[in-house]
């Protein structure tokens, strides 16, 4: 995160940045208080009436499981990080049932002990990351801990007594499913809040994105928690070893998925530069346009899947120029005739359509030169954004001069037929702050 240190931020922007930091601080403060309180109360309980009743084997086994899971974090698309295995360990420990004659020796496992054990496990698992110079991932850890604590407090203080009296497995299962969903919801909402602040997206949009991205993994985690809780009841703690295999396979599948998405984006980013190397456009043009376009799209409330298509389209918007025998001077498509602009757009769109998998992107590229109003059919929002971002970059380039960008914006505002007014306003906001916006 590069804060705008070089320029004095405007007052309302300052408030915005402050709000972002305080959201994170609030979360970390809550987690820290939770952990401190849990340790204090656990200490009192262990020295008091729980003295002989804590099952240290279970505490070590689940703490170790959490640490292992935290060690094997998973990068998800969009620069997110998850720790599904740690979540399985922590949730299972929170929902562990106390069987009167079962192998576990913990008739009363208090919620505070669950929180304390999970906190230690997560910290231990994060240490190797810190030692290797990777980010500690404190936000994610805090979010997971808060979710687990919520589930543990409800289950341990309210539900567990009732379940032990009852004893039907169908009921146990239903209660667990509801609580696991609740925990997932806490984690997802926190994730969406943080992300909305980080990238400058609307919270409602960020929440939907987050849910769409997290539900498959959440489902796998939830089912794994139920499986773990029941089989630990039957076979004891050693069964945890048998889970590591399937969980790892699931994790590998997700890792490969996230990996190929990252490579894909990287490749398109790099190959979009062929127009620059070939001298058709100014150096850095496609990347700057794509960054601007994504920021503007986000400001206008576009969802993450739409933003990905927009980013691809913005990166490749000039690819049609490769078919021109003679480069346009400076590559500035804003200076050539409408008919030529449309022809370049069509050629580029054909290239992209040939891939067979990026039809949405091809459509955005095809309509990029159409005026915002009066064209039939009307260009999609993504194309209007690319048109504005492209024009802005053709006029301003890599310059960070505020006057120059203000002039460019004013020029576009004078042409409400050519450029969507809403898009230009969003562009003005974005150009003023230059938030790094990558997917």
Partner 1 sequence: MTSGQLGISRTMAGAEREVRVSLAARIYIGVVVVAALAAAWRAPVFEPTPPAGRGQPGFPSTAVTHPWAALAVLMALFLICDSARAPLTSRQTKWSPSSSATLAAAVLLGPGAAGLVGAMSLVSLRRRLQAEERLFNGAMHALAGIAAGSAYVAIYDHVGLPQAGHFRMILLAFAAAAAVHVLTNHGLLWGIYRLNRANPVLRAEMPESSLALLLASDLGYASLGLVIAALWAHLEWFAAVIVLVPLFVARWAMAQFAGEQRAYTATMNALCQAVETKDYYTRGHGDRVSRGAVMIARQIGMSSARTDAIRFAGMLHDVGKLGVPTQVLQKTGPLTEDEFAAIQLHPMRGLEIVREIGFLYEALNGIMHHHERIDGRGYPMGLAGHEIPEFARVIAVADAFDSMTSTRSYREAKSIDQAIIELRRGAGTQFDPLIVQAFVAALAQVGWERPGPAGAPIDLATVTVQDHDDPTAPLQVVVP
386: nearest Cα among 303, 295, 304, 276: 295
Least distance from C-beta 293 to partner 1, angstroms? 19
386, 364 contact by CB (below 8 A) = yes
Those residues with Cβ within 8 angstroms of residue 283's Cβ, 6 or more apart along the chain or in another chain: 276
Q: What values do phi and psi take at 43, rounded to 5?
A: -60, -50
Full DSSP string of 87-125: HHHHHHHHH----TTSS---S---HHHHHHHHHHHHHHH
| Token output for 170 | 């169908």
Least distance from C-beta 352 to partner 1, angstroms? 6
Least distance from C-beta 228 to partner 1, angstroms? 9
Q: Give the three-class secondary structure for 286.
A: helix
Residue 319 CA from chain centroid, whole number:
29
Cβ distance to partner 1 smaller for residue 42 or 321: 321
Cβ distance to partner 1 smaller for residue 325 or 414: 325
415, 270 contact by CB (below 8 A) = no
Cβ distance to partner 1 smaller for residue 365 or 372: 365
Least distance from C-beta 38 to partner 1, angstroms? 29
The Cα angle at residue 328 between residues 294 and 281, in degrees rounded to 5: 40
Cβ distance to partner 1 smaller for residue 44 or 253: 253
Full DSSP string of 326-360: SPPGGG-GGGS-HHHHHHHHHHHHHHHHHTSS-HH
Residue 384 CA from chain centroid, whole number:
26
295, 347 contact by CB (below 8 A) = no
Cβ distance to partner 1 smaller for residue 32 or 242: 242
Cβ distance to partner 1 smaller for residue 123 or 231: 231
Cβ distance to partner 1 smaller for residue 146 or 176: 176
Q: Which residue has the tokens 């078919």?
A: 323
Least distance from C-beta 186 to partner 1, angstroms? 20
Cβ distance to partner 1 smaller for residue 83 or 111: 83
Least distance from C-beta 246 to partner 1, angstroms? 5
Cβ distance to partner 1 smaller for residue 149 or 319: 319
Residues in contact with partner 1 by the rule CB under 8 A = 102-103, 169, 173, 216-217, 219-220, 222-224, 226-227, 230-231, 233-236, 238-239, 241-243, 245-250, 252-254, 256-257, 260-264, 266-271, 273-274, 277-279, 316, 319, 322-326, 351-352, 354-358
Distances (CA, A) of 20 to 13, 14, 162, 296: 11, 10, 42, 19
7: nearest Cα among 402, 404, 414: 402
Residue 17 CA from chain centroid, whole number:
19
Least distance from C-beta 207 to partner 1, angstroms? 21
Those residues with Cβ within 8 angstroms of residue 16's Cβ, 6 or more apart along the chain or in another chain: none
Residue 142 CA from chain centroid, whole number:
16
Least distance from C-beta 17 to partner 1, angstroms? 30
Least distance from C-beta 324 to partner 1, angstroms? 8
């Amino acid at each position: 995160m590069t804060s705008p240190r070089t320029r004095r931020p405007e007052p309302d922007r300052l408030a915005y940045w402050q709000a972002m930091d305080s959201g994170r601080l609030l979360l970390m403060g809550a987690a820290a208080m939770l952990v401190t309180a849990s340790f204090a109360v656990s200490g009192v309980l262990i020295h008091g009436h729980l003295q002989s009743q804590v099952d240290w084997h279970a505490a070590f086994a689940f703490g170790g499981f959490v640490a292992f899971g935290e060690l094997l974090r998973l990068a998800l698309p969009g620069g997110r990080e998850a720790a599904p295995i740690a979540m399985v360990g922590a949730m299972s420990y929170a929902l562990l049932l106390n069987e009167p004659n079962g192998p576990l020796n913990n008739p009363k496992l208090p919620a505070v002990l669950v929180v304390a054990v999970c906190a230690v496990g997560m910290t231990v698992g994060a240490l190797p990351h810190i030692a290797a110079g990777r980010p500690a991932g404190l936000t994610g850890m805090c979010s997971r801990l808060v979710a687990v604590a919520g589930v543990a407090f409800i289950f341990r203080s309210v539900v567990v007594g009732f379940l032990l009296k009852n004893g039907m497995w169908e009921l146990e299962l239903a209660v667990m499913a509801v609580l696991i969903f609740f925990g997932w919801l806490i984690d997802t909402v926190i994730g969406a809040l943080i992300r909305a602040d980080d990238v400058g997206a609307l919270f409602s949009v960020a929440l939907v994105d987050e849910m769409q991205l997290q539900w498959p993994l959440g489902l796998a985690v939830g089912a794994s928690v139920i499986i773990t809780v029941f089989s630990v009841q039957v076979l004891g703690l050693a069964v945890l070893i048998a889970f590591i295999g399937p969980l790892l396979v699931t994790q590998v599948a997700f890792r490969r998925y996230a990996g190929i998405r990252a490579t894909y984006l990287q490749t398109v980013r790099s190959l979009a530069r062929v127009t620059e190397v070939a001298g058709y456009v100014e150096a850095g043009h496609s990347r700057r346009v794509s960054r601007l376009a994504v920021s503007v799209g986000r400001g206008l409330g576009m969802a993450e899947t739409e933003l990905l298509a927009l980013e691809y389209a913005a990166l490749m918007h000039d690819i049609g120029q490769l078919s021109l025998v003679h480069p346009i001077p400076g590559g500035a498509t804003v200076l050539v005739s409408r008919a030529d602009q449309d022809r370049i757009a069509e050629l580029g769109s054909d290239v992209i359509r040939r891939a067979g998998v990026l039809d949405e992107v091809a459509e955005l590229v095809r309509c990029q030169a159409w005026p915002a109003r009066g064209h039939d059919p009307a260009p999609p929002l993504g194309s209007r954004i690319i048109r504005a971002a492209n024009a802005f970059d053709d006029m301003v380039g890599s310059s960070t001069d505020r006057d120059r960008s203000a002039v460019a914006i004013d020029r576009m505002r004078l042409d409400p037929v050519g450029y969507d007014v809403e898009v230009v306003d969003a562009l003005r906001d974005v150009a003023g702050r230059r938030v790094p916006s990558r997917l």
